[in-house]
Structure 1
């Protein structure tokens, strides 16, 4: 096993929240007995988002209900993302490939879930320019 096999990128997409853009990436680190896979969200500029989308990255799916796992798929709740008075639950849907799905929730529900132990997503709030 090489280090290239240990740390990889899982689900990844661009979040568009109003006029703000973010790059979402799941960092997966796996060795026998250890599996670490946090979601990291980085604020990006509109120009960066346009170029990443043109390069093949896609917009994150945003919906109103949690995803349901079809046969052979797994759905895992990852974290709560809050930005600009909006809140989302983020789920990872897996079946050989990863897809991040954002679910709209109220700010009140987001605060309640965090108070009950849900993770907040790691967010880098200043774009790299």
Structure 2
């Protein structure tokens, strides 16, 4: 009997330090026949939680000045716009040998343009657990 892949898994996940606050950036992937849902969420963490998660192996979020460029070995997907700690970012899922989130700082005008064009606003759980 073939091993069955669970229908819900965690994709790209990382810890972002934005200003003086920490956020867990996580992609939830839900896949079944005819269904592919993969939203990204932000979850505010404490500095202690962020340090423990990094120590346990969670990557630090990658910040870039420009959007990543797809290639034959790299798939790039805009996941949405993140408003966090007074800053705004476009969030990309980059898949090559790994699955990582890349954040690119943008201004409000760029964010509004992306949102008007159909980009989602990434939900953030603002109170740490």
The normalised TM-score by structure 1 is 0.91
Are 1:97 and 2:95 matched, yes or no?
Answer: no
Cross-structure match for 1:118: 119
Q: Mapping of 1:76-91 within 5 angstroms?
A: 76-91=77-92
Cross-structure match for 2:38: 37
Cross-structure match for 1:65: 66
Q: Does structure 2 conserve the Cα–Cα contact (< 8 Å) formed by 1:85 and 1:107?
A: no
1: CA distance between counterparts of 2:83 and 2:109? 11
2: CA distance between counterparts of 1:70 and 1:14? 26
Task: Give every structure 1 segment of 4 or more consecutive aligned residues whose post-TM-superposition deviation is greater than 6 Å.
Answer: none
Structure 1 residues 92 and 38 mapped into 2: Cα distance closer, same or farther (>3 Å)? same
Q: Mapping of 1:47-58 within 5 angstroms?
A: 47-58=48-59
Q: How far does the alpha carbon of each residue in 1:93-124 deviate from its partner, in whole angstroms, 9 at most, with x for none?
A: 11353111101101221123223321000111
Shift of 1:35: 0.3
2: CA distance between counterparts of 1:30 and 1:21? 29
Cross-structure match for 1:9: 10
SS of the aligned residue for 1:5 comes to coil
2: CA distance between counterparts of 1:95 and 1:5? 21
The normalised TM-score by structure 2 is 0.91
Q: What is the alpha-carbon root mean square deviation over aligned residues?
A: 1.5
2: CA distance between counterparts of 1:108 and 1:18? 21
Alignment size in residue pairs: 127
